[in-house]
Amino acid sequence: MSGKWADSNRRASLPRNWPEIREQVKRRDGYRCTATLRDDTRCPDPGTDVDHIGDPHVHELKNLRLLCSWHHNKKSSAQGNSARNKPPPLRRPAEKHPGMR
C-alpha cells in the first residue's frame, strides 16, 4: 500500500461499516470539500477524504466532514507538527544516590 495509509494503523481502528459511513458523509456534503477559504466561500474542489473533526475514535456523522486532499493534508500536517513541537513533560531532577554525595 502506498500513499497516506502506508505507515498508518488507522484503518484498523475504523468500524466495520466505515464504507457506509463514508458514503453518507460524501452524500451529505454534496461530494464537495467543506473547507472554508479566506474569502469565506466554500472550497470548490471535489471532496475525497473523510476527516474526523474532533476525536478520531468517534465515527458519528456530526464528527465527520468531507475535505479535498489538499485541505486534508494541510490539516494532518498541522496536527503532526503540533504534536512534534510539544515540550517534553516536566520531570523532577534525578536525586543523587545517597552514597555518591
The arithmetic mean of pLDDT across residues 61-85, rounded, is 89
| 42 band by pLDDT with thresholds 50, 70 and 90 | very high
Query: For the purposes of burial, counting CB atoms within 10 Å of the CB of 67, is it exposed (0-12), middle (13-18) or buried (19 or more)?
Result: buried
pLDDT at 83: 73
Q: What is the domain partition of the chain in residue ranges? A: 14-72
pLDDT of 1 over the 50 cut = no
Round the average pLDDT of the chain to a whole number and report it. 87
The pTM (predicted TM-score) of the whole model is 0.71
Integer CA distances (angstroms), 43 to 8, 27, 74, in order: 27, 16, 14
pLDDT tens for residues 2-39? Answer: 455 555 667 778 999 999 999 999 999 999 999 999 99
**pLDDT given at position 14:** 92
More confident residue, 97 or 73: 73
C-alpha cell at 21: 459511513
Amino acid identity of residue 87, one-letter, is P
Measure the CA–CA gap between 51 and 46, rounded to whole angstroms: 14
Residue of 82 and 8 predicted with greater confidence? 82
